[in-house]
Structure 1
Amino acid sequence: MEKYPVLEVNLNKLRKNTEIVTDLCKDNGIEVAGIIKGFGGIVEAAKAMAEGGCTQIGSSRIEQLRSLKEAAVKLPLLLVRIPMLCELEDVVKYSDICLASEKETLIELNREAEKQNKKYSVILMYDLGDLREGVFYRSELIELARLVEFELNSLMLEGIGANLNCYGSVAPTHQNLTELSDAAEEIEKILQRSLNIVSGGGTTTLPLLIKGGVPDKINHLRIGEGIINTQDLPLYWDTDIEGLDKDTFVLKAQIIEINEKPTYPIGELMVNAFGEYGHYEDKGIRKRALVGLGNQDVGDSSKLVPKDKNIMVLGASSDHTILDIHDSEKEYKLGDIVEFNVLYQAMLFTSLSQYVNKKIRE
C-alpha cells in the first residue's frame, strides 16, 4: 500500500516548463539559471531542468549542490545565497560560482580557491532597494569589482547581479534594472572587458520581460518558481505564459476522518497552536474531512490549492488539515486521496519534510 502524504514529481512536465521559460528568455538574449531550492534540490528534478535548457543550476544550499556534483550534473553550479565563512571550503569544492557582497568573504574565498588550486567565479550583488543582499552604493560595487579583478588572482569576476521582490517586495522595473545595466557598463570600462553575466533577478522579472521592459544589458535570470510553481505567475503577478503546466508537482494526502460539524468553534476562543487568532465564518453545519498532513509539512495550509475546485481548505494544525468537502460532486470516503497543487511556500516545506514521501514520475 502506498504511503501518504506524497509529493509527486512529473519530470516530463517539469522539463517542458523549463523549455518554455528558457526559450522565452533566450529569445530576449537571456540565459537562465534553474533554481532548485524550491523543491529541496531533488536530483532527478534538477536534471530535468538541466535537460530543459538551463545553462546553470543554482541553489541557496551548498548541500544540494554537492548532491548534484556527486550525481555528475555537468552544468555550472551556482550558489545563490551569500556564502558563510564557515562553508567556504565546500563552496569552492562543490560549486563553480557564487553571489558575493562582502570584501572579507571575497578575500577568504580567494584564499580557499588558491588552496584548492581552482579559479572560482563570483557575481557581485548590487542592492537596488529591496534591502536584502548586495552593496548599496555603486562606488562600493566598483571598489569590489576592482578588488576581484586586479588583486584576487584565484577569483574570476563573472559579473554583477541584483535581487528584487524577495524581502522588500520591490518590483523589477525598467528604471531599477537600468541602474544595474549602467553599473555594469561603468565596471566594464574600468576593467576594459565585458562582463559575462548581468543578472537581473528571478521569476518576478518575467512579467517585465514579457512586456518588453527589461534593458538589453540584462542577460541572466535566476528562475525556480516560474518553472516549478507556474500557478504563482497569474495569482501573484497577473502573468500567463502559454503552455506552462501547473501539475509538475502534485501533493497527495489521505482522508483520515469525515464528519458533518458546525463551521464556527464552540466556546471561548484563544490563540491557536501557532499563537494566532483564527478567523471563522458561521455557515451552519457542513461536511468536512481531515487529511493526514499539517502545517509542519506544508508551512501554511493556505498555500494548498485543491485540484477538486469544490473543496475549500479551512485551515490546519501541526498535523491535520481541515477541508470543507460539502459542495464537492465526489462522494469522498475514509481513505480516499485528495490532490493539491502547491504554491511556493508549500512546495518548499513539503519537498524538505521527511514525513512527505517523494515519488518521481517520467
Structure 2
Amino acid sequence: MYPEVVIKIDKYKSNIKSLVERCSGANVKVWIVTKSFCAHPHIVSNLIDCGIDGLADSRIQNLKKMKDLNIKKILLRIPMLNEVDDVIEYADYSLNSEIETIYALGERARKKGKKHNIIIMLDMGDLREGVWPDDVDDFINKVLKIEGVEIKGFGTNLTCYGGVIPDENNLGRLVKIAKEMAEKYKLDLEYISGGNSSSYYLLEDGKLPVGINNLRLGEIAILGRETAFGKRIDMLHDDAFILRAQIVEIKNKPSVPIGNIGMDAFGNKPYYEDRGIIKRAIIAIGRQDINPDGLIPLDPNIDILGASSDHTILDVTKSERDYKVGDVIEFKMDYGSLLKAMTSEYVDKVVV
C-alpha cells in the first residue's frame, strides 16, 4: 500500500559493515542508532551480525522491541523520572546528566537486584544535554556515592542543537576530562563516546582524538553522508531508504493561485513562482507524514512545489515520463523527512 518506505536491507547492512570496518581500524566501537526507523523489528534483527557493539535509541518504547536481542541496548535520551523502571529493565546503558535522575536509577536498580551502567554526558559547547565541564569533578563525586549505578564512560553530543562542529579541541577536551576523572576516582571506563555522525569526518581525516573509542551512528549509515558538512561518503549507499508515493491527480493548471493570498494550513504565507501553465501532479502524502523540503525526487526533472497536510504538489512539466494517475513517484529523503515517514502510521514500511 502506498505511500511506503522501501528499506533495502542489504544496502543498509553494507553501509554499517563498511563503517564498522573503518571505525575498527581506529579502535572505535559503533553503536547504531535505531530511532529514525523506530527500531523496526525486521531491520534491527538483521543488524546483529554487522559487527556493531550495540543498538541505541532515544525511546524506551523502541528498546522494548529489542528486549530479546542478544546485544547491548543503550538509551540515548536523558531518562525521564517516570520511566526509570523501564530504563533499568530494557536498557543496559543510559546517558545521564542529572544527579536526581541517577539517584532514581540507583534506587530502582537496587530494588531489582541490578547495577545499571551510565555514561556521563558532558556539554562541550553545543548547549544541549550534559554536565558543564567546570562542574564535572563535583558531579562525579556525588555519583560515586550512589549505589546501584556504575559509571562506564563519558560522552558528548554536538551539532544536534547548537550546530557546533566536533573538532580536535572540543573532543580533545572530552578525552582529557574523562581521563582525569578516571585517574582521580579510579574509574574503569569502558567508553569515551565522541558523538554522532557529525564526528565521523574526523576519523576519515585521521584527526579523531586518541582516546575516543565510541561513536553513535545513525544518519550516516542510513543516508550515506556525514552530518558535520553533509559530505557524501563514497563507500556508502545513499538509497537504502526510498519513499514511494502514488499520483492521485494530474492536470495542467496555472502555477500561481488565483485570488488574495493569505495563510496556508500551517500559518505561513506562501510565495509562488510564476511558471505559467504547468503540468501539476498531486501525490497522496503530506506534511503529516513527511517534510516536503527534505524530499529528493529520483526523477531529476521533477520540482516539488509545496504540500498540505495530506498532499504534495509536484511540477512534472519537464519530465521525460508521461505521468498518469496511479503512477508512483520515488524519492530519496533527508534525515528529517525520513524520521517523519518512518514514524507515521500512515506510511507502510517494506523491507526488501
TM-score (norm 1): 0.94
Q: 1:255-266 to 2 correspondence within 5 Å?
A: 255-266=247-258
Q: Deviations over 1:116-162 (max 9, x none)?
A: 11111000010011111001133x222232333x3223111110000
Q: Deviations over 1:290-319 (max 9, x none)?
A: 000000011x20111111111111110000
Q: CA, structure 1 residues 47+143, in 2 after alignment: closer, same or farther (shift >3 Å)?
A: farther
Contact 1:171–1:204 (8 Å) recurs in 2: yes
Q: Deviations over 1:336-359 (max 9, x none)?
A: 011111111111111111111111
Contact 1:14–1:48 (8 Å) recurs in 2: no
Contact 2:151–2:187 (8 Å) recurs in 1: no
Aligned to 1:146: 141
Q: Which amino acid aligns with 2:272?
A: Y
State the distance in 1 between where 2:321 and 2:283 align.
16
State the distance in 2 between where 1:142 and 1:46 align.
38
Contact 1:120–1:156 (8 Å) recurs in 2: yes
Q: 1:155-194 to 2 correspondence within 5 Å?
A: 155-194=149-188
Aligned to 1:217: 211
Instruction: Please point out which of 133, 136, 139 is paired with 2:132.
Output: 136
Q: CA, structure 1 residues 119+194, in 2 after alignment: closer, same or farther (shift >3 Å)?
A: closer
**Tell me, what secondary structure is at the counterpart of 1:159?**
strand
State the distance in 2 between where 1:114 and 1:123 align.
18
Q: 1:14-25 to 2 correspondence within 5 Å?
A: 14-25=12-23
How far apart are residue 194 of structure 1 and its match?
4.2
Q: Deviations over 1:67-108 (max 9, x none)?
A: 100xx2111100000000000000100110000001111111
Q: 1:30-49 to 2 correspondence within 5 Å?
A: 30-49=28-47
Q: 1:65-144 to 2 correspondence within 5 Å?
A: 65-69=63-67, 72-138=68-134, 140-144=135-139
Instruction: Please point out which of 317, 321, 341 is paired with 2:312.
Output: 321
Q: Once superposed, what is the RMSD of the aligned Cα atoms?
A: 1.4
Aligned to 2:297: 306
State the distance in 2 between where 1:48 and 1:246 align.
19
Contact 1:34–1:50 (8 Å) recurs in 2: no
Q: Deviations over 1:8-36 (max 9, x none)?
A: 11111111110011111111111111001
Q: Percent identity?
A: 38
Structure 1 gaps of 5+ residues are none
Are 2:272 and 1:274 aligned? no
Contact 1:14–1:45 (8 Å) recurs in 2: no
Q: CA, structure 1 residues 175+304, in 2 after alignment: closer, same or farther (shift >3 Å)?
A: same
**Tell me, what secondary structure is at the counterpart of 1:323?**
strand
Contact 2:295–2:332 (8 Å) recurs in 1: yes
TM-score (norm 2): 0.97
Contact 1:60–1:81 (8 Å) recurs in 2: yes
Q: Which amino acid aligns with 1:37?
A: K
Are 2:222 and 1:228 aligned? yes
Q: CA, structure 1 residues 52+279, in 2 after alignment: closer, same or farther (shift >3 Å)?
A: farther
State the distance in 2 between where 1:238 and 1:166 align.
13
Q: Deviations over 1:27-64 (max 9, x none)?
A: 11111110010112112222333322220100000010
